[in-house]
Amino acid sequence: MCGIVGILGNAPVAERLIDSLKRLEYRGYDSAGIATLEGGRLTRLRAAGKLKNLEAEAAAHPLAGVIGIGHTRWATHGGPTERNAHPHVAGRVAVVHNGIIENFRELKDALIAGGAVFESDTDTEVIAHLLSVALAAGETPQDALAKTLKRLRGAFALAILIEGEEDLLLAARRGSPLAVGLGKGETYLGSDAIALAPFTNRIVYLEEGDWAVLDRKGVTIFDAEDRPVARPLKVLQSSALLVEKGNYRHFMAKEIAEQPDVIGHTLAYYLDLAEGRAKAPEGLDFAAVERVSIAACGTAYYAGLVGKYWFERLARLPVDIDVASEFRYREVPLKPGGLSIFISQSGETADTLASLRYCREAGQRIAAVVNVPTSTIARESDVVLPTLAGPEIGVASTKAFTCQLSVLASLAVAAARARGTIDAAEEKRLVEALAEVPRLVSQALALEHEIAEIGRRIHKASDVLYLGRGTSYPIALEGALKLKELSYIHAEGYAAGELKHGPIALIDESVPVVVVAPFDSLFEKTASNMQEVAARGGRIILVTDEEGLAHAGLTPAETILLPKMPPEIAPIVYAIPVQFLAYHTAVVNGTDVDQPRNLAKSVTVE
């Protein structure tokens, strides 16, 4: 992870570098730094902790200079201290890095043997030293970079500033994304285009293995074999204005509230609401597919789990699903011609991308449900299935999740129709049900106040269990993930039927048990599990509808009542209360909701 930025400008850059880093904080936020050339000399400012600490440093000790690089860090090698913060400097070279240099130990040993003195515990510092040694031996910056890159193993995006070179920034990309921005007499580098949105919307994405030489006139790009290459210039819609918090206290609150709109946009893209049809997704022939494999991480994985239920039930299409970090190492036997679907908000998650590449090698057709259309996963897929959630800033995914669910539900209906497992009337019923989701989500949003009260009552718990069956099971998993990552309360999601195989041992009056159970064909089974919890004094928080409450056979400690709805769409709507419960519990606990400790939004390391 980590965010990197570079500006080759005509006016002082320090403030602009920090503004850009703010847009990249989703990639990491445990320390930050910038370096500029002041009168030809390297100067640097770094600070542990959030970007505001660096901002304060910059206000106290302003950096001049019209060329510079910056970094916001998510620590991998070496703790999140000022000493380990980027940029790292050796000799005339300053480097910022996103990724991991896997062979840094052997490189470091060799450099130390050659007399290099290291200042940090990071893997990154070896890059600065390797470049510095090459420059000291008289090589040009360009040759020094080409040579250094060949010695590095692992994944990285790099931005490099060299003392004495007032019209030069160097960049390289292997495994981690990097965008070059072209302005008027200025050029820029950023981990994504959003970081550069205030400066330019003219973007060139470096491709795998590329490295680049920037001056104020433009960029020259070389491929992994050092051959000059042309990469397309993209003129992006500027989304700069979309990443403001507005009147909300947190991005997460804003993003939860946006769900009726963004789900509506996403559904309208995949469904013909007037005709009551699911649009056949271009490039996907579900009738010809025998199996689907899905891989994703975190919340996106839970969306995939719900998708599995939908594809299997509606389209009778078997789905294998695994977290991407296991999938890629499982050596899954895949029949050539099969379909693999990858789900990712960022489109940059390292394990998901590696799984995609594994499936490509195995001759699969690759489809990606992604929120960032310019991301690596989108660019490496045969079929891009966009979620139209807009930029998601809160580290905990909310609107991207419900949009992923909306895409998968629409696809499952299209697959069912293509495979003849539902008729036109059933397709119409399902599409009409999906069309109701934005309205039902709005109704769920109206429960915020009462869910906040429940948050106040559970915030001191040290364990919380979430139970669900069928498509409510992944929602229970998602609820538990959200609560633990935001409020730091230990939480587990369990398939309700598994309760008696272990977690029931945890239950006493101090343990809130959130039961996600719309009144559907599985309700009675879940109700029995709820009785087992009640018999042991557990404090039940039941998320259900009127009928479910009437059939619960007990009075829960707390009830969150949602409107009645067709069971197929329930997981999308039931996601809202579990988001609110995690959000408000975290707010009471005073944790950093948008940037919880130790996490990052885009996980580009393995």
Q: Which residues are catalytic?
A: 2, 601
Examine residue 345 and tell whether it contacts ligand G6P (CB under 6 A).
Answer: yes
Binding-residue total with ligand G6P (CB under 6 A): 16
Measured from the CB atom, is 200 or 602 closer to ligand G6P?
602
In this chain, which of 395, 411, 445, 475 binds ligand G6P, going by CB under 6 A? 395
Residue closer to ligand G6P by CB (options 417, 601) is 601
Q: Can you name the residues that pair with 34 across neighbouring β-strands?
A: 45, 70
Q: How far is the CB of 28 from ligand G6P (least distance, A)?
A: 11
Does the footprint of ligand G6P cover residue 599 (CB under 6 A)? Answer: yes
CA nearest 198: which of 65, 388, 371, 24? Answer: 24
Q: Does 603 bind ligand G6P (CB under 6 A)?
A: yes
Contact 406, 270 (CB under 8 A): yes
Contacting residue, 120, 349, 406, 526, with ligand G6P by CB under 6 A: 349
SS3 33: strand
Span near ligand G6P by CB under 6 A; candidates 33-41, 166-174, 241-249, 294-302: 294-302
Residue 110 has phi, psi (to 5 degrees) of -65, -40
- Out of 35, 161, 206, 297, the only residue in the binding site for ligand G6P (CB under 6 A) is 297
Q: Which is nearer to ligand G6P, 266 or 299 (CB)?
A: 299
Binding residue (CB under 6 A) for ligand G6P from 562, 601, 605, 606:
601
Minimum Å gap between C-beta 298 and ligand G6P is: 3
CB 410 within 8 A of CB 273: no
Please choose, out of 40-48, 174-182, 343-351, 510-518, the segment that lies near ligand G6P by the rule CB under 6 A.
343-351
CB 43 within 8 A of CB 206: no
- The closest of 23, 19, 62, 15 to 43, measured between CA atoms, is 62
Q: Residue 69: which of 174, 157, 188 has the closest Cα? A: 188
Question: What do you get for the CA distance between the two ends of the chain, in Å?
Answer: 10
User: What contacts 119, CB < 8 A, 6 or more positions away?
Assistant: 83, 88, 89, 125
303 binds ligand G6P (CB under 6 A): no
Q: Which residues contact 300 (CB under 8 A, 6 or more apart)?
A: 343, 344, 345, 349, 352, 369, 397, 400, 401, 404
Beta carbon of residue 485, minimum distance to ligand G6P (angstroms, whole number): 7
Q: Rounded distance, CA 442 to CA 106, Å?
A: 56
For 273, the token pair is 């609401």
Q: Which residue is nearest to ligand G6P (CB)?
A: 298
Min dist CB 604 to ligand G6P, Å, is: 9
Minimum Å distance from CB 370 to ligand G6P? 8
Pick the binder of ligand G6P from 90, 161, 300, 465 (CB under 6 A): 300
Pick from 397, 410, 526, 604 the residue near ligand G6P by CB under 6 A: 397
SS (H, E, C) 129-183: HHHHHHHHCCCCHHHHHHHHHHHCCEEEEEEEEECCCCCCEEEEEEECCCEEEEC
Choices 130-138, 271-279, 427-435, 596-604; region in contact with ligand G6P by CB under 6 A: 596-604
Residues that bind ligand G6P (CB under 6 A): 297-300, 344-346, 349, 352, 395-397, 599, 601-603
